Amino acid sequence: MKTARKVVQWFLRVDPLASDYTAWSPYSYVFNNPLIFIDPDGRAPETVKPTGETEEQRQASSQMIRNTLTAEDAKFVQLDADGNIDRGLINSRESSSGNFNSLKDMVNSDMVLEVSLAESFDYVDGDGNPGTSEMPYLPTDEYSEFDTEGNTMSGTSTGESGFLGKTLFPDKNGLQNSPDGTVKVIVNKNLSEPARAEMYSHEGNGHAYIYMMNGGAKARERASHQPVNFKETNTELRQRIIRSKKETIQNMRQK
């Protein structure tokens, strides 16, 4: 009852962060989308955080995300003082871009997404035992054929290959899970900037988005690959990844 009473109290006063969301009416609870978002006290935390051991690495992770967007949309994706994507700024922008709106949805989620560039990642298995996985990288083989337009889920339009990206979920129901309760997207740091952006499209706008928008642990299977005889049977995931990759490739070519 105390929690319910606390939530009701916030409907009887001005949102303490209303000035950060001038594009929205102060009467529009959670951007008119209570099925996806929650805000029990009017001070929901920022939730998408580009990470890295140094400021340069954090900025590179942030730039990777912006590279999936048009130049105009990217202006509204900046870091706040705490290193999170600024929620007020991104919410002030209305766009028809699927990539931009996917990012906005995740920024306004009640789950935390950390995005990084690395050559390895730490995880825990289903029993909580820690482990580390390396991410080998293979440069472009000029003699190989590869998908230059983003028509497939795997690989990159640049022909770079290897262990290119990973999304870790925090529910401990997989072989490799997030060790700290956050959703994590890790992209191979050795990739070129175009390939980094494409892999973020795959991991962030594909796996992480579906997981975060559909109930976390309840959506793990829905957010995961489901290969049968080397063919992806998860139609929702496949379509979302390909759509995001194609948009990213187009945006990168216009930069």
pTM: 0.83
Q: What does the alpha-carbon distance between residue 27 and residue 169 come to, in Å, rounded to a whole number? A: 33
Residue 206 is given by DSSP the state I
Q: Give the pLDDT band of residue 12 (cuts 50, 70, 90).
A: low
Q: Give the pLDDT band of residue 8 (cuts 50, 70, 90).
A: very low
Given a contact cutoff of 8 angstroms between Cβ atoms, the answer to whether 154 and 104 are in contact is: no
The one-letter code for the residue type at 245 is: K
Residue 44 confidence (pLDDT) above 60: no
Place of tokens 């529910």: 171
97-128 pLDDT, tens digit per residue, is: 999 999 999 999 989 999 999 999 999 999 99
Closest CA to 242 of 156, 183, 169, 160: 156
DSSP readout, 130-164?
A: EEEEE--EE---TTS---SS--SSSS-TT--EES-
Domain parsing of the chain, residue ranges: 47-255
How many helices (DSSP H) and strands (DSSP E) are in the chain?
Answer: 8, 10
Q: Residue 219: exposed, middle, or buried by beta-carbon count in 10 A (0-12, 13-18, 19+)? A: middle
The one-letter code for the residue type at 107 is: V
